[in-house]
Amino acid sequence: AMVILNEVLGNGVIPQVTKAEVKLLTVT
């Protein structure tokens, strides 16, 4: 998940899948 977040921050794009991962990271 962290790798995806890093790629998202680099691209500046936040796909729905990443949003779901962010929620999981927040919950965890």
Q: What is the pLDDT of residue 15?
A: 61
Rounded Cα gap, residues 15 and 6, in angstroms: 13
Please report, for the chain, the start and end positions of each structural domain, with discontinuous segments joined by +: 1-28
Q: What is the pLDDT of residue 19?
A: 72
22 against 4, higher pLDDT? 22
Q: What is the pLDDT of residue 27?
A: 73
pTM over 0.75? The answer is no
List, for residues 8-22, the tens digit of each pLDDT value: 665 555 566 677 777
Residue holding tokens 């936040």?
14
Task: Provide the CB-side half-sphere exposure for 2 (13 A, CA).
Answer: 1
Instruction: Give the DSSP letter of residue 12.
Output: T
Confidence of residue 25 (pLDDT cuts 50, 70, 90): confident
